[in-house]
Amino acid sequence: MNATTDLRLAPARRGDLPRIAALARTAIEAGLGHAWTETRLGRSLRHPETMVLVAHARAPVPPAELGTAFAFAGFGIMFYGDSRAHLNLLGVEPRFRRLGIGRRILRWLERSALEAGTFEVGLELRAANGAAQAFYRALGYEPAGRVPGYYEGVEDALRMRRDLRATPAGRP
Q: Could you give the count of Cα atoms lying within 13 Å of 13 in the half-sphere of its Cβ?
A: 5
Can residue 102 be called a binding residue for ligand COA (CB under 6 A)?
yes
36 Ramachandran zone, left/alpha/beta (phi>0; psi -120 to 50):
beta
**Counting Cβ atoms within 10 Å, is residue 67 exposed (0-12), middle (13-18) or buried (19+)?**
exposed
Least distance CB 164 / ligand COA (angstroms): 17
Report whether 147 contacts 124 (CB < 8 A). Answer: yes
Can residue 32 be called a binding residue for ligand COA (CB under 6 A)?
no
Please choose, out of 12-20, 84-92, 111-119, 157-165, the segment that lies near ligand COA by the rule CB under 6 A. 84-92
Site residues (CB under 6 A) for ligand COA, limited to 11-30? 27-28
In single-letter form, the type of residue at position 77 comes to I
Least distance CB 137 / ligand COA (angstroms): 8
Contact residues for ligand COA, defined by CB under 6 A: 27-28, 89-92, 97-103, 125, 129, 131-132, 134-135, 138
